[in-house]
């Protein structure tokens, strides 16, 4: 019994997305919310597989994404999290709001890996490289964290959700780093970042709290209670990284005059 392919290969487009396709996808998700990805291409009029649509949305089109290189603080956080979690990029990304697993994975492979090697640190074990050489002859110790040694971490990970787990007993200022603050890590200093890192409460992911687009259209202002990037911030991406204007979307949900004025103002600023 063969596995059903994620899409019929016939007539399904692959490769880079065009602005037109992006528009269709954004338009669809803004008006209908994120529903069954498999159905999205059909409903949105795209000749893509659902998987591709989901990837495009999560890695590129999501309004809450930060663009640009990771900051020093974020990079340090990634390194620390990688030491703890290994190549669990999605888990790492979940702790860096506005960053995607793909982005972090790429950044790790292209920048951080080399940086660590330059510093004489094994990017896999996070141990000093010369230390590694001597250690290879020894049997593994608790601190010798091989890439496959993350099963242990995995169990820790599962305990992350358990408030009574041992790891959670590590008292850190994380408690002070409230969820709302955690959503704007870029504003935190390194101490706060580390606090957030060692606090094992799952940082609420922006997706979960603000990207549940109702079909009726988002109430753009009501969700902004300070913990979520303002609409002004989140919509800037539309003007920032795409070569089309907001009006081009023809979004029914953008019928709020105030919002439209803001968007227009942003667009003017951008020019």
Question: Can you give the binding site for DNA, defined by CB under 7 A?
Answer: 1, 3-4, 6, 13-17, 35-38, 48, 50-52, 54-56, 59-60, 69, 87-91, 101-103, 105-107, 109-111, 114
- Copy the structure tokens of residue 206: 């922006």
> Which region, left, alpha or beta, applies to residue 250 given φ > 0 means left and ψ of -120 to 50 means alpha?
left
C-beta closer to DNA: residue 38 or 135: 38
For DNA, give the closer residue by CB, 88 or 135: 88
Residue 5: CB minimum distance to DNA, A: 8
Cβ 33 to DNA shortest distance, Å: 12
Q: Which is nearer to DNA, 112 or 220 (CB)?
A: 112
Please state the closest distance from residue 185 (CB atom) to DNA, in A. Answer: 18
Neighbours of 2 (CB within 10 A): 4
Q: How far apart are CA 150 and CA 86, in angstroms?
A: 6
For residue 256, the minimal CB distance to DNA (Å) is 28
- DSSP letter string over 170-224? S--GGGGS-HHHHTTGGGS-HHHHHHHHH--SPPPPHHHHH----TT---TTTT-
Using alpha carbons only, how large is the chain's radius of gyration in Å?
Answer: 21
- Closest separation in Å from C-beta 93 to DNA: 7
Give the integer Cα–Cα distance in Å for 25 and 155: 37
Which residue's CB is nearer to DNA, number 3 or number 142?
A: 3
DSSP, collapsed to helix, strand or coil, labels residue 66 as coil
Distance CA 128, CA 112 (A): 15
Task: Considering the complex, state which of residue 52 and residue 234 has its C-beta at the smaller distance from DNA.
Answer: 52
Instruction: Supply the minimum distance, in Å, between the C-beta of residue 161 and DNA.
Output: 11
Q: Give how far the C-alpha of residue 100 lies from the chain's centroid of Cα atoms, to the nearest Å.
A: 3
Please identify, using beta-carbon distances, which residue of 2 and 187 lies nearer to DNA. 2
């Amino acid at each position: 019994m063969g596995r059903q392919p994620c899409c019929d290969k016939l007539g399904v487009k692959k490769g880079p997305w065009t602005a037109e396709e992006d528009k269709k996808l954004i338009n669809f998700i803004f008006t209908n919310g994120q529903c069954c990805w498999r159905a999205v291409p059909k409903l949105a009029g795209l000749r893509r597989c659902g998987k591709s649509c989901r990837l495009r949305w999560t890695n590129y089109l999501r309004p809450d994404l930060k663009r640009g290189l990771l900051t020093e603080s974020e990079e340090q956080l990634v390194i620390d999290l990688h030491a703890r979690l290994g190549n669990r990029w999605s888990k790492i990304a979940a702790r860096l709001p506005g960053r995607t697993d793909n982005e972090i994975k790429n950044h790790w492979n292209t920048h951080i890996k080399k940086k660590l090697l330059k510093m004489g640190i094994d990017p896999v074990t996070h141990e000093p490289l010369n230390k590694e050489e001597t250690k290879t002859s020894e049997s593994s110790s608790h601190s010798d964290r091989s890439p496959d040694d993350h099963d242990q971490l995995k169990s820790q990970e599962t305990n992350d959700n358990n408030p009574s787990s041992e790891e959670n007993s590590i008292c850190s200022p994380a408690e002070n780093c409230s969820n709302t603050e955690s959503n704007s890590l870029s504003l935190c200093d390194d101490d706060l970042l580390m606090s957030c890192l060692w606090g094992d409460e799952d940082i609420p992911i922006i997706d979960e709290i603000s990207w549940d687009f109702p079909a009726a259209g988002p109430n753009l202002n009501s969700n902004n209670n300070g913990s979520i990037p303002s609409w002004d911030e989140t919509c800037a991406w539309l003007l920032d990284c795409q070569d089309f204007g907001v009006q081009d979307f023809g979004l029914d949900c953008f019928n709020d005059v105030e919002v439209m004025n803001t968007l227009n103002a942003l667009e003017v600023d951008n020019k």
